[in-house]
Each structure stands twice: as structure tokens, then as C-alpha cells.
Amino acid sequence: MNPEYIFTLFILIVLPLLYLLILTKKTHKNLPPGSWGLPFLGQTLSFLRAMRTNTAENWVQERVKKYGPVSKFNFLGTPTVFLHGQAANKFIYTCDCNTLANQQPTSVRRVMGERNIMELSGIDHKRVRGALVSFLKPEVLKQYVGRMDEEVRKHMEMHWHGKEQVQAMPLMKSLTFNIMSSLIFGVEQGARRDAFVEHFQHIINGVLSMPVNLPFTRFNRSLRASAKVRVMVKELLREKRQALKQQHTSAAASANQDLISCLISLRNEDDSVLLTDEEIIDNALVIMVAGHDTSSILITFMIRLLANDPSVYATIVQEHEEIAKNKASGELLTWEDLAKMKYTWRVAMETLRITPPVFCSFRKVLTDFEYEGYIIPKGWQVMWAACMTQMDEKNFPDPSKFDATRFEKQSPSPPFSFVAFGGGSRMCPGNEFARIETLVTLHYLLSKFTWKLSCRNNSFFRDPMPVFNDGLSIHIKPRKL
Ligand code: HEM
Ligand SMILES: *[C@@H]1O[C@H](CO)[C@@H](O)[C@H](O)[C@H]1NC(C)=O
Ligand SMILES: *[C@@H]1O[C@H](CO)[C@@H](O)[C@H](O)[C@H]1NC(C)=O
């Protein structure tokens, strides 16, 4: 037996057993229904299996049928309350930070760093989030449409032109990585970017792994890659500070040219720095991972949809023909062009509704609280599958039908029922960024190519992010719009 497995088993079974025994010894009055599911591994494995066979929705539904919208179980060794439904979404997204805190698995914290936004709460969270939003807000992002356009065209030139068959998923990951590398780090094509690609691959492989730090584990490799990226970003900080200092002599450097330059320029009223170097580095890492692994999935689902649904395809192509018609060849897309892609963004929203990239999330319970008459004790974790409300017919009639016109309405559904980007004070700050890169990419895909799925089985599973069989292979043909 592989020693990694022995350690994993030890950590998965023995430690949680002790922990649970201690935690549940104090008998609380009115705990939610549900069994701890001895042996302890049982429910963790059944959930992970459901994710891997793309039946997590059924897993949730069965659980809710059996126990109702509040139930307890043991997940990865931590006593967990599972909350379900629109009321739960609202409760969690509007809950104060003294009751619920963000909690990522240990491996995420160790790889991304203690000061990454997902670990912060209260005023620290507000400050760091404000700094990130000062770069990610539409008024700033609108000046980057042209740079995203250039990245997309370069990508198609290299990986699509002259090909008959491509794998959509890995290509979209590579494209969104490159866009982020340019706009987050200010690192363009070249040796430095190649090194980033390699290190981030190791980081992502180990972000959600058993936190066993031995030389042969995924976790250890992820930590080592993270350490290397940190050294590289530190060097970037030094270079960019220097460039900004010489700003008056060179037009090249500007505080808004990438996220890092923006963050090092932010100051408090007393002229002290707003974010420490550690905070800048941790959050640049988090954004790279949180950003490219989600939008790439959205675009891939849209590629699949457009191959399968001729009527959506016909409408969306028309929108892009209209835009392409008014552009000279080689002319970059503008913010105004994106504003015309209304139908395309509705298709994206409907895609996010039916196949959300993020399936479930976690919070940590900081103080005992009461919910629906049950006591949820401090030290437990809250787990919920927010997006299940998107397939509830009370919120979206005929929920399994793909219908982009739902999003024509100002408020297409009750509050906290469309939650692909989360909600409340921790709602995804990257949604505008995702919108821009999705629209630009779709424009060039639709204007330069037609495609057909080349594999019969185009299903996906979650690991924990959606993965396609065969990377979603497609046959492509060039076209002229
Ligand atoms: C289609 C694309 C995307 C989807 C579906 C998505 C989804 C989400 C969701 C559901 C959350 C909230 C998680 C929770 O409440 O526990 C979140 C948070 C976050 N996302 Fe995104 N995201 C996307 C793109 C991006 C991009 C492009 C960026 C960066 C440029 C980004 C950066 C972040 C960050 C920093 C947070 C943490 C916010 C906080 O804790 O205050 N995301 N995202
Ligand atoms: C990886 O494992 C080796 C050997 O145990 C250890 O020396 C090293 O510190 C680990 N790497 C990190 C980044 O923790
Ligand atoms: C598609 O592949 C998945 C496994 O990757 C399998 O579970 C599923 O049954 C397959 N579907 C069809 C229609 O063959």
C-alpha cells in the first residue's frame, strides 16, 4: 500500500474520530436530524462519489427528502450541518461575521497563504476586498477590453487556426490563464509566463489535497510550487515599484496597468501602504486560481451548448455578425461592442444557472446559533449547495429547460435564488472580469469557427470543479464572418 494512503487513512479516520468524540460529548439540546454515519468515512465518500459521477444533485435531494432542509453529518472528519434552500442561502449570505466565518480546507490555507481574502473576515476582509475591487470594478476593467482581445486572437492564431480537432477545456484553461497572467501580474508571453504556468499547475493539483507534507505527496509539490511563485511575485513587486517610481520618465508604467501595480500603489490617508506585501502576494495567487478555473469552465459549457442547440446558436451568431459587420479587420473590440452582446451574456447566465462551476461551499461556525429551531454548535462547519435553488421550479419555472430569455427580466428570480456568483458581502468580485473575457472569447470563436462535438459522450463530472470526458473534443472549421 502506498504510504500516502496510509497517512491519508490515518488522517481521515482516526483523527476525526477523536475530534468528533470530544466535540459531541457535551450533549446539545436540539441538534439537527441526521446520523454521523458510522463508520465515519461513509458519508464523505458517498458525497465525493456523487460529485465524481455527476449525481451530487441527487445526493442532496435524497438527503433533503430524508431529513429536511437542515441536517447533520460528518464531512472530511468535521461535524457538519447541511443547509438547503433559498432561506438557507439568504441566511448564510447575510449572516454576520461573528457567527459564520469563511473556512477553506487546510490545504487551501497552506498553499494560498494565511492572508488570502478567503481566510479573512471583518475589517481585514473589507479592506482587502476593497483593494481588489478597486481594480476589478467595471470602470477600471473597461480599459482592458483591447488587451483581452489581443490575448484571445493570439491564442486562436496559435491553437485553433489550421487545426481540425481541438480539446476545448484545456485550451480555455490556457487562454484564461494567459489573460489573467497579463492583467493580474503584468507578465506577457515568454519564459516567465511559462514558469508561472508550470508552477500554477502544481499549485492547483494540490490545492484540495490531504494536507500531508511529505516529499512524495501532491500537497508537498503544491507547497513547493507556491513557494517558487512567491519568490517570482516578490521580484515582480520590486520591479514594478521601481517602474512606478520612474513613472514620470517613462510612459510605460502606470498604477492601473495590472492588479499588482494597482495594489502596490494603494495608500491609506496617512500615506501608509494599504496592503502588506504578504497580502498582495497571497491575494494575487488566489485570484489567479479562483479566476481562471471558473471562467474557462463557463466558456467550455457554452461551447458544448452551442454545438447542441441550433436555435440558441442561430440567435447568438446573429448578434456577433451584427458587431463584426461594423468593424474593420484587425480592429479591437471595445467596451461599447460588449454592451451590444446582451443575448450572449444571457446565454452565459442561463449556462451558469444550469451548470454552475461552483457546486458547494463551506463556512465555519464561530458561536452557537439557532436555525429553524435547531442548535448549531460552535466548531461545526456549514455546508450548502447554493446553486440547487437554480433548479427549483418555484424560482425558475420548467427548470431543466434552457431558456436564455429568463434573464431579459430585471429580476428574473427571487433574491438569493440565482447564486452562481455567490451573494452578500462575499459575492464574487470577479464577475465583471469573467463577463468581459467570456464575451470577447465567444465573439472570436463564433466569428472565426464553426464546431461540432467529436465525442458522443459529452458528459462531465466534478473533481471538485467540472471535468469533461476527453476534455470536450470538438471538430472545428474556419469560417469568415
Ligand atoms: C464564471 C466565473 C466565476 C464564477 C462562477 C465564480 C464564482 C464564485 C463564487 C460562487 C464565489 C463565492 C464563494 C463563497 O461564497 O464561498 C466566488 C468568490 C470569489 N471569486 Fe469568483 N467566480 C468566477 C470568476 C472569478 C474571477 C474571474 C475572479 C478574479 C478575477 C474571481 C475572484 C473571486 C474572489 C477573489 C472571491 C472571494 C471573494 C471574497 O471572499 O470576498 N472569480 N466566486
Ligand atoms: C516537502 O517535503 C520535504 C521533505 O519532507 C521537506 O523538507 C520540505 O520542507 C517540504 N516542502 C515544503 C514546501 O514544505
Ligand atoms: C459517459 O461517461 C461517463 C463516465 O465518464 C459514464 O458514467 C456515462 O454512463 C457515459 N454516458 C454514456 C451515455 O455513455
Angle between helices 145-159 and 168-180 (to 10 degrees): 140
How many other C-beta atoms lie within 10 A of the C-beta of residue 389?
26
CA 422 to centroid of ligand 1, rounded, Å:
8
Q: Quick one: which of 379, 387, 330 has its CA closest to 357?
A: 387
Residue 279 grid cell: 497580502
Dist. CA 89–CA 424, nearest whole Å: 10
How many other C-beta atoms lie within 10 A of the C-beta of residue 252?
9
Q: Quick one: which of 6, 14, 80, 74 has its CA closest to 45?
A: 74
**pLDDT > 90 fraction of the chain, expressed in percent and rounded:** 73
What pLDDT score was predicted for residue 355?
96
Please name the residue whose Cα sits nearest to atom 2 of ligand 2: 215
- Cα distances (angstroms) measured from residue 359 to each of 90, 204, 382: 17, 18, 14
Averaged over 406-420, what is the pLDDT?
A: 93
Average pLDDT, the chain: 90
Site residues for ligand 1, CB cut-off 6 Å: 117-118, 129, 136, 286-287, 290-291, 294-295, 298, 352, 357-358, 361, 420-422, 426, 428-430, 433-434
Among 428, 436, 440, 442, name the best residue to mutate to test ligand 1's pocket (greatest count of ligand atoms within 8 A of Cβ): 428
CA 261 to centroid of ligand 1, rounded, Å:
21
Among 294, 350, 439, name the best residue to mutate to test ligand 1's pocket (greatest count of ligand atoms within 8 A of Cβ): 294
CA 222 to centroid of ligand 2, rounded, Å:
10
Distance of CA 478 to the CA centre of its chain: 31
CA 228 to centroid of ligand 2, rounded, Å:
13
Task: Note the ligand closest to the C-alpha atom of 55.
Answer: 3
Please give the number of the atom of ligand 2 that sits closest to the Cα of 223.
Answer: 13
Written as one letter, the residue type at 439 is L
Ranking 27-36, 194-203, 213-222 by mean pLDDT, the lowest is 27-36
Check pLDDT > 80 for residue 28.
Answer: no
Please name the residue whose Cα sits nearest to atom 14 of ligand 3: 457
Written as one letter, the residue type at 366 is L
Q: pTM of the predicted model, to two decimals?
A: 0.92
Q: What is the CA radius of gyration of the chain?
A: 23
Classify burial at 276, counting beta carbons within 10 Å of its beta carbon; exposed 0-12, middle 13-18, buried 19 or more: exposed
Mention every residue, 6+ apart, whose C-beta is less than 8 A from residue 36.
20, 24, 72, 73, 74, 79
pLDDT per residue as tens digits for the range 241-254:
998 888 765 555 57
- Cα distances (angstroms) measured from residue 139 to each of 78, 142, 285, 410, 428: 42, 6, 23, 22, 17
What pLDDT score was predicted for residue 336?
97
Site residues for ligand 3, CB cut-off 6 Å: 457, 459, 469
Task: Note the ligand closest to the C-alpha atom of 425.
Answer: 1
Please name the residue whose Cα sits nearest to atom 35 of ligand 1: 287
pLDDT per residue as tens digits for the range 149-194:
999 999 999 999 999 999 999 999 999 999 999 999 999 989 999 9
Q: Is 428 annotated as belonging to a binding site?
A: yes
**pLDDT > 70 fraction of the chain, expressed in percent and rounded:** 91
Task: Note the ligand closest to the C-alpha atom of 462.
Answer: 3
Which position has the higher pLDDT, 26 or 417? 417
Please name the residue whose Cα sits nearest to atom 3 of ligand 2: 215
